[in-house]
Structure 1
Amino acid sequence: MTAHDIWTPLLTELDRWQAAGKVARFWLRDDDAIEPTPALEKLLELTADAGLPLTLAVIPASTGEALATRLADERHALVALHGWSHTNHAGPDQKKQELGAHRAPDVVLGELRDGFAILQRLFGRRFMPMLVPPWNRISGALIAELPTLDLKVLSVYGAAKADSPIKLLNTHVDIMNWHGIRGGRPHAELVADVVAELRTRFDDDAEPIGILTHHLVHDETAWAFLSNLLTETSAHPAVRWASATSLVES
């Protein structure tokens, strides 16, 4: 199968959307940003060249003025709250979690409050009041308390739940393989996932499709997929890459 053939199912599905007069909404979330790095430069360049909005989930306990200065002129980039320190507090036999029930709620909420203040001070208007839990996991009891911290949106992984007490803006396709080689997933597999998400939304596009990346651990396979995805979709009439703020406000 050639590189072009790999993308044919996606282009065919997008052409179906175009023929029906429909436009699919996409957004891009990248996790674990801390400071300027060559990988971040590559991500910023790719997205800027494609004219594509980017949301960076930033770890407040580890970031600082260097990242704020670097992003100051990147009009296409927004910042979201990525927990506090990306520290696992779950047991050795449990899935990793920072925002779970392993600590007193007041302690966890206090960290989030501090993180919110740090990112708001550093990034100003680039900071949007959206929480991205590390490892995409958070205790249900904490979710109900997020509005008390002035957090307006929660972003995790998977289909949004209709009964959420806070607005959800989720991701649905993670380009990384976390359980095997810890590199980019095969392109044909990722294309199939994107097509599947599109097909579930053809009759009801209530939820935008979120693409999830992690620039600090991308290998060439991951970078190539992201670059190709932007190339194949950014100019297609049936695709609109949207900013997180516009999706939340719509």
Structure 2
Amino acid sequence: MTAASIWQPLVDALDRRRTAGEVVDFWLRDDDAIEPTGALNRLLELTERFSVPATLAVIPAHTDERLSDRLRARGDIEVAVHGWSHQSHAPAGEKNQELGAHRPREAVVEELRSGFVRLAGLYPAHFVPLLVPPWNRIEPNFIGELPTIGFRALSVFGPEASGKNAALFRRAEIKVINTHVDVMDWRGTRGCRDHAAIVADTVRRIDQLGEGGTVGILTHHLVHDESVWAFLSTLFEFTAAHPACRWRKVVDLIDR
């Protein structure tokens, strides 16, 4: 399969939206940021080259002024709250979860409050009141507490109002702005997924979009292989200049 044939379905999907007079909102969420690294610098340089804003899900317990200083000149980069310490409290045999029902409710809420306050203080020009649960998992009963902390939006993975996320969506008193396309092959090579499969997921999401829907791309800069970087570069190249695609800051998605 040639590179052109891999990417043509995405171009065709965007062309259909353009013909219909529509624009698709894309957004980029990158998880697990803590400090400046070579991988993070590469992500920041890539997004800057194509004028693609990015939302970094930052781990509050482990970050400090070094990352704040690195982002100072980048008004297109946002910082969201990635739990507290990215530590699983689930027992052996269960899926990793920091924000689960394995601890007292008060302990979880206090950690989220601490994470919110810490990141808002460290990143005043970049902070957005968005919670990104580690491993994209949160106990639904905790969601009602989020507005009392100051959160205005929640982001996990998958369709917002269907499948495993349906319960979260029903309980949410804040906006749910998810990611929908993951570039990583977590259950296999732990490198980049097949490019054609990622494109197919992106096209499927575009074709399913209703009013106000978005296409959320999920990345993890610390574990990217060269195939991920190549994919993102080509994705940005095909979409950033397309009239039916608009890369958005997540704060704009929260505010609209």
SS at match of 2:197: helix
Partner of 1:22: 22
| Structure 1, unpaired ranges of 5+ | none
Which residue number in structure 1 is paired with residue 252 of structure 2?
A: 246
| Structure 2 residue 179 is matched with structure 1 residue 165 | no
SS of equivalent to 2:79:
strand
Contact 2:158 2:180 in 1 (8 A): yes
Distance 2:114 2:207 in 1: 41
Tell me, in whole angstroms, the C-alpha distance in 1 between the residues paired with 2:127 and 2:28.
16
% identical equivalent positions: 54
Residue identity matched to 1:61 = A
Partner residue, 1:135: 135
Matched with 1:52 is 52
Q: Which amino acid aligns with 2:250?
A: A
Q: Secondary structure at the match of 1:190?
A: helix
Cα RMSD over matched residues?
A: 0.8
Q: Are 1:216 and 2:222 counterparts?
A: yes
Match of 1:124, SS? coil
Question: Match of 1:240, as an amino acid?
Answer: R
Question: For residue 3 of structure 2, what is the amino acid of its counterpart?
Answer: A
Contact 2:47 2:53 in 1 (8 A): yes
Instruction: Give the letter for the 2:208 counterpart.
Output: T
Distance 1:52 1:10 in 2: 18
| Match 2:188 to one of 180, 183, 194 | 180
**What amino acid sits opposite 1:241 in the alignment?**
W
| Correspondent of 2:237 among 231, 235, 241 | 231
1:83 to partner: Cα distance: 0.2
> Structure 1 residue 237: deviation in Å?
0.5
Structure 1-normalised TM-score?
0.97
CA deviation profile, 1:9-44 (whole Å, cap 9, x unmatched): 111111111111111110000000000000000000
2:152–2:254 Cα contact (<8 Å) kept: no
SS in 1 for 2:125: helix
CA contact (8 A) 1:56 1:78 kept: yes
Where does residue 4 of structure 2 map in the other structure?
4
Write the distance in 1 (CA, Å) between the matches of 2:115 and 2:243.
39
Kept in 2: contact 1:24–1:205 (CA 8 A): no
Which ranges of structure 2 fall in alignment gaps of 5 or more residues?
162-168
Give the length in aligned residue pairs: 248
Pick from 175, 192, 196: which aligns with 2:200?
192
User: Which amino acid counterpart does residue 219 of structure 1 have in structure 2?
Assistant: D
TM-score calculated relative to the size of structure 2: 0.95
Amino acid at match of 1:71: L
User: How big is the shift at 1:165?
Assistant: 2.2
Query: Could you tell me how far 1:243 is from its partner in structure 2?
Result: 0.5
> Deviation of residue 125 (structure 1)?
2.4
Q: Equivalents in 2 of 1:104, 1:221: separation in Å? A: 42
Letter in 1 for 2:70: R
Q: For 1:71-220, what aligned pairs fall within 5 Å after superposition?
A: 71-161=71-161, 162-163=169-170, 164-201=172-209, 204-220=210-226
After alignment, is 154-163 or 85-94 more displaced?
A: 154-163
Deviation at 1:159, TM superposition (A): 1.3
